[in-house]
Amino acid sequence: MKYSYRFASIFLLCFAFIGCSGEPDTPTVSHASHNQQHETMQKNDIVPLADPYILLHDGTYYAYGTHADEGIEVYTSADLKQWKPAGFALHRNDSWGNKWFWAPEVYALNGKFYMFYSAEEHVCMAVADSPLGPFKQPKKEPMMAWEKNIDNTLFIDNDGKKYMFFDRFNDGLNIWSVQLDDNMAVLQNTLCPCIHVSQKWEEVWPRVNEGAFVYKHQGKYYLLYSANSYESQQYGVGYAVADQIEGPWVKYQHNPILQNPPGLVGVGHGALFKDKEGVLRYVFHAHHDRTHIHPRLMYITTATFDHEGNLRLSEDYIVPKLKQ
CB 320 within 8 A of CB 84: no
Buried b (16+ CB within 10 A) or exposed e, 211-236: bbbbbeeeeebbbbbbbbbbbbbbbb
pLDDT at residue number 171: 86
Q: Is a pLDDT exceeding 80 seen at residue 5?
A: no
pTM of the model: 0.89
pLDDT at residue number 298: 98
C-alpha span between 1 and 151 (Å, rounded): 8
pLDDT at residue number 1: 52
pLDDT band at residue 24 under the 50/70/90 scheme: very low
Average pLDDT, the chain: 90
Q: Is a pLDDT exceeding 60 seen at residue 104?
A: yes
Each residue's pLDDT tens digit, 48-75: 999 999 999 999 999 999 999 999 999 9
Got the DSSP string for 224-263?
EEEES-TTSTT-EEEEEEESSTT---EE-TT--SBSS-TT
C-alpha span between 226 and 229 (Å, rounded): 9
Reduced to 3 states, what is the DSSP secondary structure of residue 119? strand
Q: Is a pLDDT exceeding 80 seen at residue 155?
A: yes
| DSSP state, residue 320 | P
Q: Which of 5-19, 129-143, 174-188 is predicted with the least confidence, judged by mean pLDDT? A: 5-19
Q: Which of 5-19, 71-85, 136-150, 220-234 is predicted with the least confidence, judged by mean pLDDT? A: 5-19
Q: Which of 216, 219, 212, 206 is nearest to 194 (CA)?
A: 212
Q: Is a pLDDT exceeding 60 seen at residue 47?
A: yes
Provide the 10 A C-beta neighbour count for residue 43: 17
Domains in the chain (CATH in brackets) are 4-322 (2.115.10.20)
pLDDT at residue number 35: 44
67 burial type by CB count under 10 A (0-12 exposed, 13-18 middle, 19+ buried): buried
